[in-house]
Amino acid sequence: MQEIDFQYFTEFNGRSISNSGTSDLLVPFHLKIFIEQKIRKHRNLKNYFHFLINRFHKKHLLTVFPDSAFRKTLYQSKNQNLVRYSFRPNHEDWYKAKIAAFYFGISVCRLFARLVDMDKEESREEIHYSEINKRYRRDFSYSKGILQPFHLHLTIFGNPQMILKKLLLGRKFQLDTA
């Protein structure tokens, strides 16, 4: 697939203008606390927006937005108690978000809210996995080191980290065997 250079699509020819105005994102109220934690972690909303766009730009997003078949742009419902966040985004990130939102047939606000939801789910899984990993190492340790009971089975059939994670989280998975 051909890489797109977003500088040529911007009206500022690749330069940010300091007085270009702010952009607003409307986010559902249930994500407010999580977003504020992430803003503190990334120092501002511009950096967090950049992080989300770059992180999820590399992933295959077609499975994340199943409602992309609609040609009419889908917006968030009004009865979600939306919270307004104003910020001055990097122009390249904003255009990536606009192009992705147009492709999926949703608004930029809805795209951002879904990316935050995905980030929240992944961070919850990472925290849960690290707790399970600590417990696993504590419960299966012995004097010479850490006991790894699934090592041989997992190395034969696939990616051991992915399979162990799914086993520990109690999720279903399918092994592709030769």
Q: Please check the confidence at residue 63 and state whether its pLDDT lies above 60.
A: no
Q: Which residue pairs, CB below 8 angstroms and at least 24 apart, start in 43-50?
A: 44/87, 45/85, 45/87, 46/87, 46/88, 46/89, 46/90, 49/25, 49/87, 49/89, 49/90, 49/93, 49/97, 49/112, 50/89, 50/90, 50/93
User: Counting beta carbons within 10 angstroms of the beta carbon of residue 88, is it exposed (0 to 12), middle (13 to 18) or buried (19 or more)?
Assistant: middle
Percent of the chain whose pLDDT exceeds 90: 26
The pLDDT of residue 28 is 93
Rounded to whole angstroms, the Cα distance separating 128 from 165 reads: 10
The pLDDT of residue 24 is 93
Which among 108, 118, 105 is positioned nearest to 27, based on CA atoms? Answer: 108
CA distances from 39 to 36, 42, 48, 53, 54 (A): 5, 5, 6, 15, 16
The pLDDT of residue 69 is 54
Q: Which residues, including other chains, have CB under 8 Å from residue 172's CB and lie 6 or more apart?
A: 166
In the chain, where the domains are located: 6-120, 121-169
Q: Please check the confidence at residue 178 and state whether its pLDDT lies above 60.
A: no
Lowest mean pLDDT among 7-16, 51-60, 108-117, 158-167: 7-16
pTM for this predicted structure: 0.61
More confident residue, 98 or 159: 98
